[in-house]
Amino acid sequence: MKILAIESSCDETSAAVVLAGKKSGVKKLSNIVSSQILIHKKTEGVVPEVAARAHISKISRVVQKALKDAKTPLESIDYFAVTNGPGLVSSLLVGTEYTKGLALALNKKVIPTNHMLGHLYSAFVSDPKIKLPSVNLIVSGGHTYLILLTKKNKFKILGSTVDDAAGEAFDKVAKMLGLAYPGGPEISKWAKKAKKKGFEDYAFPRPMLNTKNFDFSFAGLKTAVLYKIRDEKLNLKNPQTKANLACSFQEAVIDVLVKKTIRAAEKYKTKSITLSGGVAANKLLRKKLASASRKIYNKFYVPDFSLCTDNALMIANAAAIKVQGGFKPVKYTKLKVNPQLELK
């Protein structure tokens, strides 16, 4: 089956085409991503209406390019997949309404797909034979999940964040430090310039590191950075201070993420560990989780950098896995947007 997937949940307009087997196997034919980062840099964050308008102006060209790269005429697409949540409602509506139009015109069924399911399976795009059970850490702009995957289509959420997502904390701390949007890549860039003696002096807390559950919390850590700057009257014009703060914050986040993931893998005796979501682009997190996984004899998987942040290929892949697991594609009239769609 050929699936054309559309992703527009936040600030990337993306379309991808895959060829998938009935029971297994997903082959990428194309993946086009049009990012709005330059637009949102000006406002240091995403303005929903601006994002939706940008999706509208790009979506047709992005879909046409995805079909052209896949050398596939629209008529030979079997199913249309689309992200129907979670995300910004106005952004989600652009992708879903566009998909409805295609499905109506071509009389084809649709596969509504949870954006987080896309992130969850994104490590499977290049490594479809990941050994299960696996524990999967998803760290994105809006979510933080630890998930146990026992079969390809069977998973259990072990924990999630009780407040801010890891990516959100990166973005907010970057803002405090006066760094550009999006904050995650900026924090990691500045952290590289830190001096060991300097950043170790800050030693931020490791929230919920020792709780028995697998939940996370990053809001307190973000506030700890704010109070440190305020109470110690730190001079953020000094590049070394900025670098040391960025590094100390990054170390605290990574420490909690790695230790809790490893603890989950040990408890559930997994064979593999996967890392995905936008924060998975962080090189230090990739390196530390890879090394910790090896120590407990788990194979470590992380998607290519281009598949960490939002893209339609991960949605096409997740949609194919859903159908291969028995999901029946639905009529376009059944397609509903839910900005708070839960992962189940």
Ligand X SMILES: Nc1ncnc2c1ncn2[C@@H]1O[C@H](COP(=O)(O)OP(=O)(O)OP(=O)(O)O)[C@@H](O)[C@H]1O
Q: Can you give the binding site for Mg ion, defined by CB under 5 A?
A: 140, 310
Phi and psi at 326, nearest 5°, equal 115, -5
Identify the CA nearest to 243 among candidates 172, 171, 182, 188.
188
CB-wise, 277 or 329, nearer to ligand X? 277
Q: Which region, judged by CB under 6 A, interacts with ligand X, from 71-79, 98-106, 126-134, 183-191?
A: 183-191
Q: Is residue 278 at the binding interface for ligand X, with CB under 6 A as the rule?
A: yes
Q: What is the number of other CB atoms lying within 10 angstroms of the CB of residue 151? A: 9
Q: Does 281 bind ligand X (CB under 6 A)?
A: yes
Of residues 171 and 251, the one with the C-beta less far from ligand X = 171
Phi, psi of 168 (to 5 degrees): -65, -40
Site string for ligand X, 150-179 (x = CB under 6 A): -----------------x--xx--------
* Contact assessment for residue 10 and residue 182, using Cβ atoms and an 8 Å cutoff: no
Q: What number of other Cβ atoms are within 10 A of residue 22's Cβ?
A: 9
Burial label, 173 (beta-carbon count in 10 A; 0-12, 13-18, 19+): buried
Q: Minimum CB separation from Mg ion for residue 84, in Å?
A: 14
Annotate 116-180 with DSSP letters as a single string.
Answer: HHHHHHGGGTT-TT--SSEEEEEE-SS-EEEEEEEETTEEEEEEEBSSS-HHHHHHHHHHHTTPP
Question: Is 159 or 167 the residue whose CB approaches Mg ion more closely?
Answer: 167
Among 128, 133, 185, 198, binds ligand X (CB under 6 A): 185
Q: What is the DSSP letter of 124?
A: G
Q: What share of the chain is helix, strand, coil (3-state, %, to 5)?
A: 45, 20, 30
Task: With contacts defined by CB under 6 A, name the span among 13-21, 128-136, 261-269, 276-284 that binds ligand X.
Answer: 276-284
Q: Which stretch binds ligand X (CB under 6 A): 66-74, 104-112, 182-190, 333-341?
A: 182-190
Interface map 7-46 toward ligand X (x if CB under 6 A):
--xx------------------------------------
Contact by Cβ (8 Å): 66, 31: yes
From ligand X, Mg ion, none, interface partner of 82 (C-beta below 5 to 8 A by class): none
Cα–Cα distance for residue pair 215/32, rounded to 1 Å: 34
From the list Mg ion, ligand X, none, partner contacted by residue 181 (C-beta under 5 to 8 A by kind): none
> CB of residue 310 vs ligand X: minimum separation in angstroms?
4
188 binds ligand X (CB under 6 A): yes
* Residues within the interface to ligand X (CB under 6 A): 9-10, 86-87, 115, 119, 140-143, 167, 170-171, 182-185, 188, 277-279, 281-282, 309-310
